[in-house]
Structure formats: structure tokens, C-alpha cells
Structure 1
Amino acid sequence: MAASLALITFGISGCSSDEAPEVEQPAPVDISALDIGSYATAPRTIGKQNIDRARLTEGQRLGNYLPTPFEVDSRFKYQSGMDSNSVYGFIERIYTVGDTFAEDAPGFVGGFYSWAQSHDDILIAETLSNAAMIFDSEASASAAADALARSQRAKKEGRVAVQIPGFADEHAFWQPDRQELFTFKAYKQLVVYTTIKDYAKIEVGTTDLGAMTSMATKNWSTIQPRVDKFDPTAVGKLTDVELDHDQLLGHSLARQGEESQKNPPGIYNQQGALHITTTPESDRKLFETAGVEWLGINATELYQTKDEKGAELLSDEHSALNKKLRSAGSPKGLPAAQCNELKVKDSLTMRFHCTVAYGRYVIEARSNQLIDAQQRISAQYAMLAAKAK
């Protein structure tokens, strides 16, 4: 890419002599001097989707309507975020649904998976997960709920059917020895598969079916009004649905190698982005205040906000240090980028994280290697500079 200059301006300019002194502007960023490693920085045009990509897009679009577990119950404030291998949009069977999914669910289009826990230590936490699946008709959804429930009940010994108001017979079952409750709910063209598990009660050997069934009812009562606003795309028109918005995904840094198998690249609105953050409690208000419009997921997380002020706020909040983080070096030639490092090794969390604002955009890059996180954020910055031309 030809050498270019990009300038980010902050603060106040053009002050008269009787006003406060002019804020010193940061030096322009020399894009040609950035270390981008082997990442490609040329923007891409996102064309017409093939049917599998279109099905995945439909599943990701559903995530823009679903409540997060935190919105179901404020105890569920610990999410896995981008660091986990959790799947969000999906078109193949998701591991929690079972090996016979293809046979049990003809007419399946795509789905979205969300998960959270009530404590940062899984051994004493309660967990809530929802796998919401779209089908080509209401009849297909109803039949799939029946078949999936039968298969899941037969999966392990000790699972017993339980009665929950609003759920059909055999669509809710409990495994007392593992303190797990499973439900399938068919609704219009959707099937929502919910798993509730209480690890603390497993440890102490107690049971509380009433609390779990109450949570299942609360979960569905929160989901239903949200998905009522979701209008499934007719199967024959799936490939006509636009994948990109404002060229955001086309200007997102592409992944390399096996990384593409993780949370699939895609684009989410403000609500969908809340499923992917690790801090839904604080980000719910932050995203609203910052005016988050879209989040593009690829080799980086690329937020588009309403304006530069919103981007600066989001970047500052997401780069703030805490007791688990320490500062790491900024990328070569990009001193505005803030990088941090986990103080304690965590196999489920990337060690390094870098953040920077560019105009109305915020870039976040993660990696277990500092140089890779720095190269990712630098390459994404260079790509946005190309977009700004």
C-alpha cells in the first residue's frame, strides 16, 4: 500500500487570545512506518453471499434481537467474550445440541448462541445458555423442538421430564445429580434451547428444582418480546441480504489460518455487540452513551460509533487498567494505542489486548503475543486510513 499520512485530532482548536490555550495536537501517524507484519491492509468489497454464508448471517442477525443472559438476570454478568472458543452465529450443529442434530432438525436455517455465568469462578457459579435456532417454517420448528427434546432426554441416564408453565410436555427435563435443567421452546419459526446449571449446588450436593424452573420461565419471558421483533428472511431470499454495513466489514482486518474457525466474522448492532463483550454490566450503558452503531468481528474488533467523542470514550474505557492488567508497550509508530497484559496466566483469555480510536471508530486487538496484537491494531489502523481517503 502506498505510503500515506493519517491524522487524528482531539481537543480544542482555533482558540483566540482570551480563551484557554490551544490543546497540543498529536503528531500525524505515518502509515508507512507502522509494523503490520503479514496482515493485508487492502480494503475488500463484500459481494453477494453464498447460501451457507447467508444462513450464518441470518443467525448472526438474530443475535441483534436476543437479550443477553445479563438482561435476563443481572447475576449473569460474566461472559466469555472474544477470548473464548464459544460460537455465536452458527449453521452447523452446536456442541450443546447433540450429534443427531441434522436428523432431528430438518429445515434449520441458522442460529445464535449466548452464554454467561453468575460468578467469575465457574466452580461456584450458575450458568445460563441459549441456543436460538431459525427454521424455514413454523411446522419445521415445532417438529424440531419435539425431536431435539427426545434426543437430549435420551442422551444420559437420570434425566427426568418436569412440568414448567408454558413449555410442552417432554420439552423440559432435569438431571438432579448434575443440577442441570434443559428446555426446548418452539415459537413461530424459532426453537430456543436453554441450559441452566448450578455448579455450587453440585459441589455441596443440594438441589433446588424450583429455582431452576423459575429461571427458565424468567428467561423465556425476557426472550419472547425481543424475538417478536425479529422477522425471519425467506429462505429463497437469504442470499440477497446485505452482509456489510457502511463498508465496515470490508474494512475489517482479515483473519489468518485456523483463527477463522472461531467466532465467525460478522457484523452486529449495539444489542448484538453486548453478547460478545466480557463486561455486559458496564458496557450496556457505555455502548448507549458512546453511540455504538455497529461492531465488526474479524481479526480485530472494529466498533463504529456515532461520532469521534463516542469513540474516544469507548476506547478510554476499554483500555483502562485494573487489578488484573498491567500496561504493555504501544505499537511502533502508533503511540496513541494503549496495550495491556494480563498479570496472571489464564488459558481462556488472550494475554495481550490493544485499543485505539480512529475518528468515529475504535479498534481492539487481542493475541497471546504482544507483537501480534501490536501488528493487528497497526494493520487495522492502516486499513481505516485507506477507508478515510
Structure 2
Amino acid sequence: MSVLTVVSCSTTETGTAVKAADDGGAVVALMDTGGYATAAGPPFGAAGDDVAKQNVMEAHRLAEYTVGPWEVDLALTALPSALEAARVAPIITVDDLRRGQIIPAPLIDIAAARGVLGGFTTLRIAPAATGQQRSLQTVILRFPAPQDAAGAAADMVSAVPPELGVPPGPPQPVANNPDVTALTFKLPDASTRVIGISARAQFLVFQSARVEDGFLGTSADLLVDGASSKQANRLDQFSPTAPDKLAALPMDPTGSLLARTLWSLDGSGPVMYGVWSPQAWLHFELDPIATAALFKTAGVDAVSQRLTTVYQAGNADGATRLADGLTEQIAALPQVAKTAGVQGLPSATCFKSADGLPATSPMSWQRTQWVAKCVGHVDRYTYTAFSADPVDARRQMAAQYRILAGE
């Protein structure tokens, strides 16, 4: 999965920051920020003529209208493994589809031939405690025109390859969504896979559900049927950006939040780099259902991701509530223990996980399977940092505090 480097920054850049009204007893003199910036970088402009940037920003907009699997089945809340992290991400290029194996290879070739422009993909699985193993993935691909999406959908239905050596059954319309064509696999591991493919305006919708067979619980065809209904309604509410307006899409709709979000020393970031609406950001959260409730209570109106994640709440009280909620979610994870906090920053809480990945792993993998993670808040902002090195995570937290607090 490609990572778009939106801007290159160094620790010498300066910018404006608003003095925090609530510093939680912070003492800047005690903070260790390492080599990280302690002031905001320059503001971001529009996407301009860079097609990759245009695709990123349209993917961010599309994500808000992509139905999360948990909206179809309340049990589908767990993020996939690190190896499947690319299946929860913006799609910027055809190469992203290939590297992430987001859809089967023959279907990627069809999308490329039809001129796919980008899109968004999301995936969740049911936690083991649910009792019935199941997963649901939705991929939305954007094409130049409705006829391109319709042609790609028709071609894909005929090209879906076997899975685990099992070919799909004959194409059938989905029960309550006759515009969606479904293909069913009865797999040798006692599970059923159903793939649904449809076109809606200039978009192609690919949905894949896999469910462990059983007498109780749900079924793969019911998941695809439910997801299809919700996704069709959601896409009908989405207004794609006209081609001649893509260059004007702002890289930071808030105007300043991205510039005030800490960046890595080499300018790299995970695939969800950028500013997202709260609804769109839920695709990347540990518990999207619980976090959606936290967002509502806290009045979150934007989430920014560079190296750290910054949540912009309605006020300082909302930021505190959000930080407390995120901290509780992390503390409840298995193999996770609370560790020493950040010197000079008593409002921060840090954790260490026994299941974390090393620093050599892709950053997007480390973000979900971290060694160290911290949560903090200042004024109307909640922020988190992750790293394979606990010392580095604490330095990030100190630097991010100083950027947001203007200290």
C-alpha cells in the first residue's frame, strides 16, 4: 500500500499555535522531545494538479460514505491482522490494489483496464469470543463514468477466481438487492464465502463476507444482503467531486489541524495520513462502536493523522472525556500493561503491549499492533502516539503537547 507524502517538514519549521487553556499541570522544562518538532509546520494547500493527492482527498470523502461492517453486524468490530491492514485504507492507485491484495488479482486487472481512479476499502472480523467466525469487507472503486463502473462490474462477475481450490457457484441476484450479483463458495474449512458485485453511478461496490457454517448466528449471504442495502443508500447521499474541481480539494479541510499534528523525522506516515471526518475515521479505530459514542459525547469534528493522531473535540471537557475513553479501551486489551508516563506531562497515560511489532515492520502495521502507545489531552485536543520504542512514544507525546499548547 502506497503512502502519500503530502509535505516534507523538518524540526526547524515554525507555525502558529494557540496557547492551551488547560495544560493539566504540564512542565515543559521537564519534557524530552528528542529530535521532534515542537512548533506547527506550514499550512497545507489544495491538492493541485497532483493526481495522487486528488485521489487521496476524494478517498477521504468517500470513506465517510462507506458503510462500516459493524453497521451491518454489531459483532464485526475487530480490526484484521497486520497482514491485512491494507484492506482498511484509502485506495490511491492500482498498485495499492495489487500490493494489498484488496480484491482478487483477475479483478484488479479488469479495474485497471476500465480506468479505475481510486477508492476506499474497509474490513472487520468478529472477535473470537463471538463464537461464530465471520468477516465482512467492502471495497468501493471510483471510475471515470457510470458506464466504466457498469462494464467493470459485469466483467468481474465472470472473472471471480476459485478460492481454496473451490470455484464459485453460478451468479445469483442478492435477495433484497437484485442489482447486486452474488457468487457463493462452499469452502473446505466449513465456511461459506459470498462475494457481491454491483455498480452504482460511477462506483463499483465489491463486498465479501465469510462466515463459519453453523445452525445459529448469521450467514454470509445475509451479511452481503444487509451491507448492499446500506451501501446503496449511503452512496446515493454522496456527491462525487467533479473532475474539474478535484484540484481545488483542500489537503486539510480544517485549515490548520494537519499542520499541528506531529510528523515523523523522515516525513513518512501510515496509509491513513491526513485529516478525516469523525465518521470516516471510525474505519481505523480499535472499537468503532464505542468510539462513535465517544465522538458524539466529545463533539469531535475532525481527526488528523501524521505520525501521531490528533482528535479535535468541541471543548476541553470533551477532549478529556475522549482521552479517558480511549485509555479505557487500550487498558482492556489482552497482553497490554500500563507503563511509566511522560515526564513533565501528567495528563498522558502510556501502555506497552507484548504483541507489538518491531520497528522494521511497515508503519501502518505498527499503528495497529504497537509495542508502545500513549494517550493525552490538552485544551480541545486528544492525541495518541505509537512506536516500537517506549522512549520514542513518550518523546512524540511531549512534542505533540508543545505543538498543540504553543509552548
TM-score, normalised relative to structure 2: 0.80
Task: Output one character per residue of 1:220-265: Cα deviation in whole Å (capped at 9) or x when no partner.
Answer: 11112222111011223211111202211122122355953x4231
Q: Give the structure 1 partner of residue 370 of structure 2.
A: 350
The answer to whether the Cα contact below 8 Å between 1:328 and 1:339 also exists between their aligned partners in 2 is yes
One-letter amino acid of the counterpart of residue 91, structure 2:
F
SS at match of 2:284: coil
One-letter amino acid of the counterpart of residue 121, structure 2:
Y
Report which stretch shifted further, 248-257 or 130-139.
Answer: 248-257
Q: Give the structure 2 partner of residue 275 of structure 1.
A: 283
Q: Give the structure 1 partner of residue 170 of structure 2.
A: 161
Q: Give the structure 2 partner of residue 152 of structure 1.
A: 160
Q: Give the structure 1 partner of residue 194 of structure 2.
A: 181
The answer to whether the Cα contact below 8 Å between 1:340 and 1:353 also exists between their aligned partners in 2 is yes
Task: Output one character per residue of 1:276-333: Cα deviation in whole Å (capped at 9) or x when no partner.
Answer: 1111121121111111100112111110011111101001111133363321111222
Which of the numbers 373, 388, 391 marks the counterpart of 1:371? 391
Q: Give the structure 2 partner of residue 51 of structure 1.
A: 51
Structure 2 gap ranges (5+)? 1-11, 358-367
Q: Give the structure 1 partner of residue 146 of structure 2.
A: 138
CA distance in 2 between partners of 1:254 and 1:291 (Å): 25
Q: 1:257 to 1:5 in 2, by over 3 A?
A: closer
The answer to whether the Cα contact below 8 Å between 2:264 and 2:306 also exists between their aligned partners in 1 is yes
One-letter amino acid of the counterpart of residue 44, structure 1:
P
Residue 358 of structure 1 deviates from its aligned partner by: 1.3
Q: Give the structure 2 partner of residue 340 of structure 1.
A: 351
Task: Output one character per residue of 1:331-360: Cα deviation in whole Å (capped at 9) or x when no partner.
Answer: 222222111123x42556212210111111
Which of the numbers 312, 318, 324 marks the counterpart of 1:316? 324
Q: Give the structure 2 partner of residue 286 of structure 1.
A: 294
CA distance in 1 between partners of 2:116 and 2:142 (Å): 6
One-letter amino acid of the counterpart of residue 35, structure 2:
S
CA distance in 1 between partners of 2:125 and 2:377 (Å): 30
Q: Give the structure 1 partner of residue 3 of structure 2.
A: none
Q: 1:312 to 1:72 in 2, by over 3 A?
A: same
CA distance in 1 between partners of 2:65 and 2:33 (Å): 36
Q: 1:62 to 1:323 in 2, by over 3 A?
A: closer
One-letter amino acid of the counterpart of residue 46, structure 1:
F
Residue 102 of structure 1 deviates from its aligned partner by: 4.7
Q: Give the structure 2 partner of residue 99 of structure 1.
A: 105
- Give the count of matched residue pairs: 363
Q: 1:327 to 1:46 in 2, by over 3 A?
A: same
Q: Give the structure 1 partner of residue 203 of structure 2.
A: 190
The answer to whether the Cα contact below 8 Å between 1:43 and 1:383 also exists between their aligned partners in 2 is no
One-letter amino acid of the counterpart of residue 92, structure 2:
I
Residue 363 of structure 1 deviates from its aligned partner by: 0.6
CA distance in 2 between partners of 1:294 and 1:70 (Å): 21
Report which stretch shifted further, 88-97 or 299-308.
Answer: 88-97
Report which stretch shifted further, 332-341 or 299-308.
Answer: 332-341
The answer to whether the Cα contact below 8 Å between 1:134 and 1:190 also exists between their aligned partners in 2 is yes
One-letter amino acid of the counterpart of residue 190, structure 1:
F
SS at match of 2:227: helix
Report which stretch shifted further, 143-152 or 53-62.
Answer: 143-152
CA distance in 1 between partners of 2:345 and 2:17 (Å): 12
Q: 1:123 to 1:258 in 2, by over 3 A?
A: farther
Structure 1 gap ranges (5+)? 11-24
TM-score, normalised relative to structure 1: 0.83
One-letter amino acid of the counterpart of residue 285, structure 1:
A
Which of the numbers 375, 382, 386 marks the counterpart of 1:362? 382
Residue 5 of structure 1 deviates from its aligned partner by: 11
One-letter amino acid of the counterpart of residue 159, structure 1:
P
Q: Give the structure 2 partner of residue 38 of structure 1.
A: 35
Which of the numbers 179, 182, 205 marks the counterpart of 1:172? 182
Percent identity over paired residues: 22
CA distance in 2 between partners of 1:367 and 1:129 (Å): 28
Which of the numbers 366, 371, 383 marks the counterpart of 2:403? 383
The answer to whether the Cα contact below 8 Å between 1:265 and 1:297 also exists between their aligned partners in 2 is yes
One-letter amino acid of the counterpart of residue 347, structure 2:
A
